Chain A
Amino acid sequence: MLDLSYNTIVVLLGTALLGAGAGLVGSFSVLRGRALIGDVIAHAALPGLCLAFLIAGRKNLTPLLIGALATGTLSVLLLTVLRRYTRVKDDALLGTIRSVFFGAGIVLITYIQNRSTEGSKAGLTSYILGKTAGMVAADVQLIGGVALAALVCVVLLYKELRLASFDPGFARVQGWPALLLDNVQMTLAALITIVGLPAVGAVLVAAMLILPPVTMRFWTDRLSKLLVGSAIIGAAIGGLGTLTSAQYSLLPTGPVIVLVGTAFFVVSMLFAPRRGILARAAALRDFRRMLLRQRILSRLYEYAEGPTSEDAWLTESEVATTFDITPAAARHAINDAVFGGTLVPRSSAKGTEYGLTDAGWDHAALVVRGERLWQRYLVEHPDLAGQLVDLDLTNIDDYLPADVIRKLEASLAAEGRLPETSESAASQASAARRQGGRP
């Protein structure tokens, strides 16, 4: 049963605010390709916490967090310097710096715990994997303050941060201090990471920055929605994770929050419309089917150009052998075309045969025209083959200038190989493409 005591509410509020702030700030980190830097800062914060404890002598939150921030910042500085003056690859640098600082932190924690009973009571180990039980109102205020600061910065600097994350070079040419904007974003990420340490722990706090935006990215193509959605998902992950771990008092909070976040991520990855794996598979299947239908239509068109128009009829099994596909796939393609009004059945000695309808003729002419124009274009400009981009066979007019098309058409017409296409069919096809996004 849910036990919504005062303590639980405080903790819940804290982790939800943490999640919201981390989601907001993490969106920019992920977009900027800096997701791992949050992880480095989090690991590097550990030795700072311990040193602050050794100096302050007791577990007082403010000096601990200042210590954490100090070594966290040091790690980023070190990263920047090494990146500039050595040629060690980025991933190697990130991995090394993170491990070195984290290792130092573990050594210090062990030293503190062995040194005195006070040390073992301080519970510094909870900073490794996170423990929300000890969270008090002051901690929540701190988290809330950082989250609010993040919100204010993002609202005020929305335009600037968007530009500097998308195209820092262009931003600099326009006169924006891209480095300063980068630092604003990095500082926010560092702050939210540090205040999140007690609740989620050094090992996993970076996941709070990464999981919400990568989850939300499946659902939207707009930055504004990504930011709002990430904040909401972050809050939900934090809250749900806390409630779950509260039910099993032995579980550290960090791992539970990360598992809840992973569930959000996996569901989005599979089921999101358009960007999800299933939607992508379906789109790919539809595209292949469309190409197959186009090939069937163009084949019938070419048969009809031949000496006997009687050839312009195919049975299901003839379609299957012609295009080397299974009978089921052939049936499916034919049914789609009949349903779409481009093919019509008739019965004959061979069984049911399919031929082009009037609309089918129009469409087939468009496809054949596209096919032949492309072929002719490639023969005349073989060096340009690499430029051809995602196309079905009806969209050549989007890729070649009108005068080039006219020349190609003239050369095909001279050989009597230019299909007669109707203007309306062409403009319909092009309108459908513009509406529908990528074909």
Chain B
Amino acid sequence: MQPRTTIAADRTSTASLTPPILDVHDVTVAYHQRPVLWDVDFTINSPQLVGIIGPNGAGKSTFIKAVLGLVPLAGGSVRIFGGAADAVRRRIGYVPQRESVDWDFPVSVLDVVLMGTYGRLGWFRRPKAADTAWARECLAQVGMADFAHRQIGQLSGGQQQRTFLARALAQKADIYFMDEPMAGVDAATERVVFTLLKQLRAEGKSVLVVHHDLRTVEEYFETVMMLNMRLTAAGPTAQTFTPANLRKTYGPRLEVLDAAAEAVRTKQRSD
């Protein structure tokens, strides 16, 4: 096992003076009158990497979509940098699930990354040479510089995911929301995502990531949010990612818990 990188939680003394980066208060979401998220409370005061975990159908994606205003709230409120999401759109970066778009759409990789700059451009204005140069730079950051002119359907799953990441980078946001960026991607891409997360964190940005692989939670995230229709636990990964909380979140389903228990055992050995 390689040594785990521990990122010190950076609690600045000004946290109490500036509004929280993200303040989710009692958020409830319902589809067809059936609640899928109950009373979720969650606050980020300082920049951090947050892993959102929970079983299938736990409402992880719904949580992100509710925060971003993509699904209506049945109750509660969300403030980002002290304002409504609509007031701070330019500062929000988003990586949707890869399956959410049609990859046969006739656009090139560079076209998609340029979409990240549209928010700054505003109505009617087309991207300029500087925007294109920036988009290429973002592509290079995810190791996709050679693929700029490919149609997006001719990419592997991992390359498609990297394209989405480059588009989010092109947004130059301060807080990022990523929906399963490491699901079904090759090992090289997973490494790229992880490096990018650390880099964004080092730049003082916050990233919330819906994550499915319990074995890597401790390595990747300093804060963890455990969801199963309600918030079962949230806080620093070291104290929160425990067998008891995992059982509360996933239920006594063995196949999942085995992996988690193994992760915890490995951790105890290395401590």
Binding site for B on A (CB under 8 A): 31, 33, 156-160, 162-163, 165-167, 169-170, 172-176, 217, 220-223, 225-226, 381, 384, 386-390, 398-401, 404, 434, 437-438
Contact = CB atoms under 8 A, between A and B. Distances in A.
Contacts of B96: 167, 169-170
A173 B158 contact: no
A386 B184 contact: yes
A-B pairs, top 3 by smallest CB distance, nearest first, are A175-B89, A221-B151, A389-B156
A283 to B, nearest CB: 12
B186 A387 contact: yes
Contacts of A399: 156, 158, 186-188
A223 B101 CA distance: 16
B94 A166 contact: no
Contacts of B191: 401
A165 B126 CA distance: 17
A172 B105 contact: no
Contacts of A398: 188
A105 to B, nearest CB: 33
B157 A217 contact: no
B186 A226 contact: no
Contacts of B141: none
Contacts of B146: 434
B118 interface: yes
A401 B187 contact: yes
A173 B89 contact: yes
A33 B158 contact: no
Contact of A167 (B69, B92, B115, B153): B115
A36 to B, nearest CB: 16
Interface in B52-94: 65, 68-70, 86, 89-90, 92, 94
A419 B68 CA distance: 52
Contacts of A172: 68-70
B97 to A, nearest CB: 9
Contacts of B157: 387, 389
Contact of A387 (B65, B92, B187): B187
Interface residues of B, number: 46
A17 B172 CA distance: 43
A31 B103 CA distance: 11
A225 B118 CA distance: 21
B30 interface: no
B188 A166 contact: no
Interface string B176-196: 010000001111100100000
Given A169-B65, A217-B106, 4 more contacts: A173-B92, A173-B94, A390-B156, A398-B188
A79 to B, nearest CB: 18
B35 interface: no
Interface string B155-169: 011100000000100
21 contacts: A31-B102, A31-B106, A160-B118, A162-B115, A166-B101, A166-B115, A167-B96, A167-B101, A167-B115, A170-B94, A172-B70, A175-B90, A222-B108, A226-B106, A384-B187, A389-B186, A398-B188, A399-B158, A400-B187, A404-B187, A437-B150
B94 A160 contact: no
Nearest to A402: B188
Interface in B213-251: none
- Interface majority SS (helix, strand, loop, mixed), chain A: helix
B115 A163 contact: yes
B202 interface: no
A166 B70 contact: no
Contacts of A166: 101-102, 105, 107, 112, 115
Contacts of B204: none
Q: Indicate the member of A162, A220, A225, A384 with the most B CB atoms within 10 Å.
A: A162
Contacts of A167: 96, 100-101, 115
Nearest to B146: A434
A404 to B, nearest CB: 6
Contacts of B186: 387-389, 399-400
- Which of B96, B108, B156, B177 neighbours the largest number of chain A CB atoms within 10 Å of its CB? B156
Contacts of B89: 173-175
Given A163-B115, A167-B115, A389-B158, A400 B188 contact: yes
Contacts of B115: 162-163, 166-167, 170
B92 to A, nearest CB: 6
A400 B65 CA distance: 32
Nearest to A224: B106
A320 to B, nearest CB: 33
A156 B68 contact: no
Contacts of B147: 434
Nearest to B103: A166
B266 interface: no
A349 to B, nearest CB: 48
Contacts of B6: none
A387 B184 contact: yes
Nearest to A157: B124
A169 B156 CA distance: 22
Given A159-B121, A389-B186, A437-B150, A220 B106 contact: yes
Interface in B140-156: 146-147, 150-151, 153-154, 156
B184 A169 contact: no
A176 B33 CA distance: 28
B118 A163 contact: yes
Contact of B185 (A156, A221, A387): A387
A233 B98 CA distance: 33
Contacts of B158: 387, 389, 399
Nearest to A437: B154
Interface string B105-117: 1111001100100
Contacts of A160: 118, 123
Contacts of A389: 156-158, 186
A159 B70 contact: no
Contacts of B119: 174-175
A222 B106 contact: yes
A434 B92 CA distance: 33
A176 B69 CA distance: 12
A158 B118 CA distance: 12
A434 B156 CA distance: 13
